[in-house]
Structure 1
Amino acid sequence: MLGGACALSVLVALSSCTPATILPGEMLPIAVESDVITDLGGNPTLSPGLTFLGGIELSSSEPLFGAFSSIRFRDEQSFLGVFDTGYWIEGRILRDGDGRLAGLDAVRLAPLLDASGRESPSKFLVDAESLALNGDRAFVGFEQRHRVVAYAPLVDLGKALPSAPLAFPFDLDILHSNGGFESLVIAPKGSPVEGALVAITEKSFDENGNIYAAIVGGPLAGEFRVRPRDDFDITDAAFLPDGDLLLLERRFSIATGVGMRLRRVEGTSILPGAVVDGDVLFEANYRSQIDNMEGLDVIPEPDGSVRLIVVSDDNHSILQRTLMLEFRLAPQN
């Protein structure tokens, strides 16, 4: 699929629109440009304690860049993510003198390899939609051909290989072809399901209209459900330091355009057999500086607050953008 940077200009030579070749076992350094966003715009709904800090619009002359599906931070600056076109992305965020997002640095790409160490020739096999980090392993969730596998070692992403698919408490054939595991998170210390992998689908519904989810591993492994609201789809999730779970949700229709929402689920409610719901912390529509928001992660601050970073999937379309937005969530009283 051609990247937006190529499609935008007929003056660029055809050869410059050809994605770079990444040699087996290597990673591709790329340059990423950033335009700063200072005003969210529109009239979004923000709950008390939630503040928009700023953001950046990202672009690159490398056609492989784009299609961000999930992002996880290894520390306050370094991140790892996946594209739904079957690529890893790693890099560092840059901040200005006031601590606001200013750009990306040290960005590198690598294909998600199969068990034989080969790059897949088919997007159907590498439609990566979710990511969770656990030590030197990365769990990646794929849809269309639904599965979750663990990649290692993360110290050398160009050579990271997948495990066999993880076992789930329900048959993955029941999942919607384009509505599989959009969220993977490791339950934090103190959670009833501490250390387990929590997997939530985007829009795969049971007979009661609730969304399939699972707890994989640990003594309380099993399935649970998430109650959907207002035609929003779940696109990612992240645990807060207090154990509550944040859901990133997206809605799109021709009539209403794109929407984004954050919902907070009580961590203690995530148990086998439960149907969980949560309060809306944030909601915005097309009038705000949002797009197809698909990735979310949390960076704890020393004062007890957290920074929430969300990224968008541009689908390699000239009509969409790759955005990285940042919010601050104050600690609850």
Structure 2
Amino acid sequence: MIKFNGATACFLALMIVPAMAQSVQSFEVKARSIEQFKIGSDQKTFGPLEFVGGLEMAGGSRDFGAWSGISVSANQVNFIGVLDTGFWIDGKILRDDEGKPTGLSANLQEITNAAGIPITRKWQADAESITRKGDLIVVGFERAHRIDTYKIEPDGSYSFQNTSAPNVPLYELRDNRGFEAIGFAPLQTTLNGALVGISEKSLDKDKNIMGFVRNVDGSSFEFSVVRSDEFDITDLGFLPDGNLIILERRFNIESGIAMRLRRLNAREIKPNSTVDGDVLLEADMLYQIDNMEGLSITTDQDGTPRLTIISDDNHSLIQRNLLLEFKLNETVN
């Protein structure tokens, strides 16, 4: 029994057995290029965002899908992600000479626990967010709310390092609305290397969305993000200047699904603060979107931030695996 912030979390005892080598599935994803973000329109600019291109992806492995988090490397080719069914996904984003995505090669392997055993139960394997710091990968899980750290090994496997609780009272986290957004702030910016997490829809006493900051010295604090227009938060990414972009999703029967990108000022994130931000983009079913869940931000050679966004198809026949990319042509310091 381990106590965190006054709440008691029960972790199932693990039978310690020698770790077994994990099988890796390697395959080419079947991909169709998306040339138009707004359906039936050649419009490329949407406020400060410029649509670069996208992919609709399928096949290659029956386990491919349910993609919930992505971290794209600085070279904008290699990536690592998680599926909420308990798999790592890594590989390469194929691009043309102009940098537009044209395809995907991928590998899948099961996420393992401290004993090196694949995590197969859905309530334990529900990986929703991912961020990278050197050769360490940090993954946020919901249902069994926790933040686990893995190391990328030379053979391409991922070895469990440690687990910790989110820096909020666990009893306040909804079962399926945990920390879908985590990320490391850039060094020498306002939050200076801190791990930041924001829940999907776990609300504080004022009905705003709960978040935390864990500083590099181990200290931490809570903050909140204003919840508006029934949007829930599904991921975050840091801009080079240290400010954040959050990816949000809304679903209702009347209007279907929508996505939103909102920018938060890192200087406003302080203990017990409630922050809001500018809406950069809001898109509904008139656009090429689905259940958008993962966001990664890289930088083009000219310094322009590039947003890579992926969707979770829930292994449903009526949903799609999408990868969309935008350039952010202006930033606010």
Which TM-score applies when normalising by structure 2?
A: 0.88
> How far apart are residue 48 of structure 1 and its match?
3.3
> How far apart are residue 312 of structure 1 and its match?
0.2
Q: Which residue of 2 aligns with 1:90?
A: 90
Q: Separation in 1 of the partners of 2:226 and 2:155?
A: 39
**Map 1:210-225 → 2, pairs under 5 A:** 210-218=208-216, 221-225=220-224
Q: Does 1:131 align with 2:136?
A: no
> How far apart are residue 302 of structure 1 and its match?
2.6
Q: Separation in 2 of the partners of 1:117 and 1:225?
A: 36
Total equivalences in the alignment:
309
Q: Separation in 2 of the partners of 1:259 and 1:36?
A: 21
Decide whether the 8 Å contact of 1:168 with 1:216 is kept in 2: no
Q: Separation in 2 of the partners of 1:156 and 1:177?
A: 35
Q: Structure 1 residues 272-281 or 42-51, which shifts more?
A: 42-51
Q: Which residue of 1 aligns with 2:72?
A: 73
> How far apart are residue 121 of structure 1 and its match?
2.7
Q: Which residue of 1 aligns with 2:168?
A: 170
Give the ranges of 4+ consecutive aligned residues of structure 1 lying more than 6 Å apart after TM superposition: 43-46
Partner-residue secondary structure (3-state), 2:290: coil
Which TM-score applies when normalising by structure 1?
A: 0.88
Partner-residue secondary structure (3-state), 1:124: helix
Q: Could you list the per-position Cα deviations for residues 28-86 of structure 1 after superposition, in whole angstroms to 9, with x for gaps in the alignment?
A: 21221110000112489965331111101011141100001010012321000000001
**Map 1:268-287 → 2, pairs under 5 A:** 268-287=267-286
Decide whether the 8 Å contact of 1:45 with 1:283 is kept in 2: no
Letter of the 1:266 counterpart: N
Percent identity, aligned pairs only, is 41
Q: Separation in 2 of the partners of 1:38 and 1:71?
A: 22
Q: Structure 1 residues 294-303 or 92-101, which shifts more?
A: 92-101
Q: Which residue of 2 aligns with 1:36?
A: 33
Decide whether the 8 Å contact of 1:111 with 1:158 is kept in 2: no
Q: Could you list the per-position Cα deviations for residues 83-131 of structure 1 after superposition, in whole angstroms to 9, with x for gaps in the alignment?
A: 00010000111112433110012x1111110111101231111100011
| Superposition CA RMSD, Å | 1.9
Q: Which residue of 2 aligns with 1:195?
A: 193
Could you tell me which runs of 5 or more consecutive residues in structure 1 were left unpaired when the two chains were aligned.
1-22
> How far apart are residue 331 of structure 1 and its match?
3.1
**Map 1:138-149 → 2, pairs under 5 A:** 138-149=137-148
**Map 1:1-333 → 2, pairs under 5 A:** 24-42=21-39, 48-75=47-74, 76-105=76-105, 107-163=106-162, 165-218=163-216, 221-332=220-331
Partner-residue secondary structure (3-state), 1:173: helix
Distance of aligned partners of 1:168 and 1:120 in 2 relative to their CA distance in 1, 3 Å threshold: closer
> How far apart are residue 156 of structure 1 and its match?
4.0
Q: Separation in 1 of the partners of 2:33 and 2:27?
A: 19
